[in-house]
Amino acid sequence: MVTEEGADELEKKAMELLRQSKDGVLQSDLWKSLKISSREGSRLVLRLMRKGLVRREEVTVGGRKTYKLYPVGAAAARFTVQVGVASILDIPCATCPHLLECGAGGFYDPSTCTLLELWLRREAARLRQTQQAQQAQQAG
Protein backbone atom coordinates (compact mmCIF):
# COMPACT_ATOMS: atom_id res chain seq x y z
CA MET A 1 0.00 0.00 0.00
CA VAL A 2 1.26 3.46 -0.91
CA THR A 3 1.14 6.24 1.69
CA GLU A 4 0.18 9.81 0.77
CA GLU A 5 3.83 10.85 0.98
CA GLY A 6 4.83 7.88 -1.18
CA ALA A 7 2.08 8.74 -3.65
CA ASP A 8 3.52 12.24 -4.11
CA GLU A 9 6.95 10.74 -4.78
CA LEU A 10 5.46 8.26 -7.26
CA GLU A 11 3.67 11.09 -9.05
CA LYS A 12 6.92 13.03 -9.34
CA LYS A 13 8.80 10.00 -10.67
CA ALA A 14 6.01 9.19 -13.11
CA MET A 15 5.94 12.75 -14.44
CA GLU A 16 9.73 12.69 -14.86
CA LEU A 17 9.50 9.50 -16.92
CA LEU A 18 6.68 10.91 -19.03
CA ARG A 19 8.52 14.17 -19.70
CA GLN A 20 11.64 12.28 -20.80
CA SER A 21 9.69 10.37 -23.44
CA LYS A 22 9.01 12.12 -26.73
CA ASP A 23 6.46 9.58 -27.97
CA GLY A 24 4.52 8.91 -24.77
CA VAL A 25 4.78 5.91 -22.46
CA LEU A 26 2.65 2.78 -22.43
CA GLN A 27 0.77 2.58 -19.16
CA SER A 28 2.17 -0.91 -18.44
CA ASP A 29 5.74 0.28 -19.10
CA LEU A 30 5.24 3.09 -16.61
CA TRP A 31 4.21 0.61 -13.91
CA LYS A 32 7.21 -1.59 -14.65
CA SER A 33 9.60 1.37 -14.54
CA LEU A 34 8.18 2.48 -11.20
CA LYS A 35 8.12 -1.12 -9.88
CA ILE A 36 4.48 -0.94 -8.81
CA SER A 37 1.47 -3.19 -9.40
CA SER A 38 -1.03 -2.55 -12.18
CA ARG A 39 -3.60 -1.62 -9.54
CA GLU A 40 -1.31 0.98 -7.99
CA GLY A 41 -0.38 2.14 -11.49
CA SER A 42 -4.01 2.60 -12.49
CA ARG A 43 -4.69 4.65 -9.37
CA LEU A 44 -1.58 6.73 -10.01
CA VAL A 45 -2.63 7.48 -13.59
CA LEU A 46 -6.16 8.41 -12.48
CA ARG A 47 -4.74 10.83 -9.88
CA LEU A 48 -2.49 12.42 -12.49
CA MET A 49 -5.39 12.71 -14.94
CA ARG A 50 -7.64 14.30 -12.29
CA LYS A 51 -4.89 16.85 -11.64
CA GLY A 52 -4.73 17.59 -15.36
CA LEU A 53 -1.09 16.50 -15.64
CA VAL A 54 -1.54 13.51 -17.95
CA ARG A 55 -3.70 12.50 -20.87
CA ARG A 56 -4.36 8.93 -22.01
CA GLU A 57 -4.72 7.72 -25.56
CA GLU A 58 -6.07 4.26 -26.36
CA VAL A 59 -3.66 2.23 -28.52
CA THR A 60 -3.42 -1.38 -29.68
CA VAL A 61 -0.14 -3.17 -29.02
CA GLY A 62 0.28 -6.81 -29.99
CA GLY A 63 -3.46 -7.11 -30.63
CA ARG A 64 -4.34 -5.86 -27.14
CA LYS A 65 -5.82 -2.51 -26.19
CA THR A 66 -3.83 -0.44 -23.74
CA TYR A 67 -3.15 3.22 -23.05
CA LYS A 68 -0.32 5.50 -23.97
CA LEU A 69 0.32 8.32 -21.52
CA TYR A 70 1.44 11.83 -22.38
CA PRO A 71 2.27 14.73 -20.08
CA VAL A 72 -0.26 17.49 -20.68
CA GLY A 73 2.30 20.27 -20.25
CA ALA A 74 4.51 18.93 -23.03
CA ALA A 75 1.59 18.63 -25.42
CA ALA A 76 0.31 22.07 -24.57
CA ALA A 77 3.76 23.64 -24.79
CA ARG A 78 3.79 23.19 -28.57
CA PHE A 79 0.74 25.44 -28.85
CA THR A 80 1.73 28.10 -26.35
CA VAL A 81 1.02 31.66 -27.42
CA GLN A 82 2.45 34.68 -25.65
CA VAL A 83 -0.32 37.09 -24.69
CA GLY A 84 0.46 40.48 -23.28
CA VAL A 85 -1.91 42.43 -21.08
CA ALA A 86 -2.20 45.15 -23.71
CA SER A 87 -3.72 42.71 -26.20
CA ILE A 88 -6.65 41.88 -23.94
CA LEU A 89 -7.36 45.22 -22.26
CA ASP A 90 -9.98 46.17 -24.81
CA ILE A 91 -12.03 42.95 -24.58
CA PRO A 92 -15.59 44.10 -23.87
CA CYS A 93 -16.01 41.42 -21.19
CA ALA A 94 -13.50 43.22 -18.96
CA THR A 95 -15.86 46.16 -18.46
CA CYS A 96 -19.21 44.44 -18.99
CA PRO A 97 -21.72 45.01 -16.17
CA HIS A 98 -23.15 41.51 -16.80
CA LEU A 99 -19.85 39.62 -16.55
CA LEU A 100 -20.84 37.67 -13.44
CA GLU A 101 -24.17 36.65 -14.98
CA CYS A 102 -22.68 35.71 -18.36
CA GLY A 103 -22.39 32.09 -19.40
CA ALA A 104 -23.23 29.57 -22.10
CA GLY A 105 -26.98 29.03 -22.32
CA GLY A 106 -27.80 31.89 -19.96
CA PHE A 107 -29.61 35.15 -20.60
CA TYR A 108 -26.23 36.82 -21.10
CA ASP A 109 -24.41 34.39 -23.38
CA PRO A 110 -21.00 34.99 -25.02
CA SER A 111 -22.17 33.22 -28.18
CA THR A 112 -24.88 35.86 -28.74
CA CYS A 113 -23.09 38.95 -27.40
CA THR A 114 -22.92 41.64 -30.10
CA LEU A 115 -20.17 43.58 -28.30
CA LEU A 116 -17.97 40.47 -28.16
CA GLU A 117 -18.74 39.64 -31.80
CA LEU A 118 -17.77 43.14 -32.96
CA TRP A 119 -14.55 43.01 -30.96
CA LEU A 120 -13.67 39.58 -32.40
CA ARG A 121 -14.32 40.81 -35.95
CA ARG A 122 -12.06 43.85 -35.39
CA GLU A 123 -9.32 41.66 -33.92
CA ALA A 124 -9.57 39.16 -36.78
CA ALA A 125 -9.32 41.99 -39.33
CA ARG A 126 -6.34 43.47 -37.49
CA LEU A 127 -4.59 40.09 -37.39
CA ARG A 128 -5.28 39.53 -41.11
CA GLN A 129 -3.76 42.93 -41.94
CA THR A 130 -0.70 42.17 -39.84
CA GLN A 131 -0.30 38.77 -41.47
CA GLN A 132 -0.70 40.22 -44.99
CA ALA A 133 1.85 42.93 -44.23
CA GLN A 134 4.33 40.32 -42.99
CA GLN A 135 3.77 38.17 -46.09
CA ALA A 136 4.22 41.18 -48.38
CA GLN A 137 7.42 42.11 -46.56
CA GLN A 138 8.78 38.56 -46.91
CA ALA A 139 7.85 38.40 -50.61
CA GLY A 140 9.32 41.82 -51.42
Over pLDDT 70: what percentage of the chain? 86
Task: Please enumerate in sequence order all residues whose Cβ is within 8 A of that of 93, keeping only pairs 6 or more positions apart, or say none.
Answer: 99, 102, 110, 116
User: Quick one: 27 and 72 in the same domain?
Assistant: yes
User: Quick one: 107 and 72 in the same domain?
Assistant: no
Read off the pLDDT of residues 47-82 as tens digits, 9 standing for 90 and up.
Answer: 999 988 899 999 998 999 999 999 886 444 444 556
Q: 50: domain range?
A: 4-77
pLDDT at position 36? 94
User: Quick one: 108 and 61 in the same domain?
Assistant: no
pTM here is 0.49
pLDDT at position 82? 63
User: Quick one: 91 and 108 in the same domain?
Assistant: yes
User: Quick one: 39 and 96 in the same domain?
Assistant: no
Query: Which of 35, 50, 77 marks a domain boundary?
Result: 77
User: Quick one: 34 and 63 in the same domain?
Assistant: yes
User: Quick one: 94 and 114 in the same domain?
Assistant: yes
**Would residue 35 be called left, alpha or beta, if left means φ above 0 and alpha means ψ between -120 and 50 degrees?**
left
User: Quick one: 102 and 56 in the same domain?
Assistant: no
Query: Which of 59, 77, 95 marks a domain boundary?
Result: 77
